[in-house]
Amino acid sequence: MPVNALYTDLSDYYDLMCADIDYQAQSHAVQRLQQLFGNGGTRHLDLACGTGPHVRHFLDAGFHSSGLDINQPMLDKAAIRCPEAHFAVQDMCRFSLAEPVDLITCFLYSLHYSATTERLAACIAQVHRALRPGGLFCFNAVDRTRIDNRLFAAHTVQNAAGHFTFSSGWHYSGAGEQQALRLRIDKIAGDETLTWHDEHPMVAVSFAELQALLEPQFDVHVLEHDYQKILPISQGAGNALFACVKR
């Protein structure tokens, strides 16, 4: 299956696949970071916004929120969820805006979809250009040196269409700038069982390498991957929340 085909072909199931995610907690945490580190503005852009659940929470909190994604079927659903927001089909490494914003977010490790270090650097440069002075860039990331290929996350959901099991896990060979996000969906409906597999190429970076890409243009705060508390990252942590202030 081609890259991103699973998300396009199964966009109707995307919200089920992410049913265990606390979008409200994630959104509220970044809103606190904007008050703490950012310029206090309310113009917001969500990169790789998917079906728009984060955008919905930002709108409800009084932000002027918009989103971009490379998959039109996802954005069609985002427009239904957030009719007052603007959505655009754009590559997050080459996007353009009519006017700058105060806050740019990229949730669910989606910054890794840049796929290569060169494209990641281009994404960071474009984010810097798109932010107002003192604007904030928030995203989460995984450190390639901390990936355990044996680990995966899974959850099950039951709805009218059937019983679903969603599984995902990181895989890194131990060398190079490529890691993979491996996805699997199992659907049981009556006597029929369907299974989808997908493997998305993702850029592999350490936190030190990511900081080196960011620090020429941003003041970088690397925080514990905790959406309830704002804490500096603990030693040896493999997941982090980045809060980056435009210089």
For the chain, the domain total comes to 2
If you count DSSP H runs as helices and E runs as strands, how many of each does the chain have, helices first?
Answer: 7, 11
Q: Does the pLDDT value for residue 4 go beyond 50? A: no
Q: What is the DSSP letter of 162?
A: E
| Closest to 52 measured CA to CA, from 25, 76, 34 | 76
CATH number, domain containing residue 37: 3.40.50.150
User: Is 140 found in the same domain as 161?
Assistant: no
* Residues 126/156, Cβ–Cβ less than 8 Å: no
Cβ within 8 Å of residue 125, ≥6 positions away: 217
Percent of the chain at pLDDT exceeding 90: 88
Both 18 and 108 in a single domain?
A: yes
Same-domain check for residues 154 and 192: yes
Among 106, 54, 112, CA closest to 78: 54
Check pLDDT > 70 for residue 5: no
Q: What is the reported pLDDT for 242?
A: 98
* pLDDT for residue 173: 97
**In sequence order, what are the residues at sequence separation of 6 or more whose Cβ sits closer than 8 angstroms to the Cβ of residue 195?**
184, 185, 186, 187
The pLDDT tens digits of the residues spanning 137-194 come to 999 999 999 999 999 999 999 988 899 999 999 999 999 999 999 999 999 999 999 9
Q: Which structural domain range is residue 184 located in?
A: 146-198
**Are 225 and 103 found together in one domain?**
yes
**pTM greater than 0.85 (yes/no):** yes
Indicate whether 92 and 190 sit together in one domain.
no
- The verdict on residue 170 lying in a domain is yes
Give me the phi and psi of 27, to 5 degrees please.
-65, -45
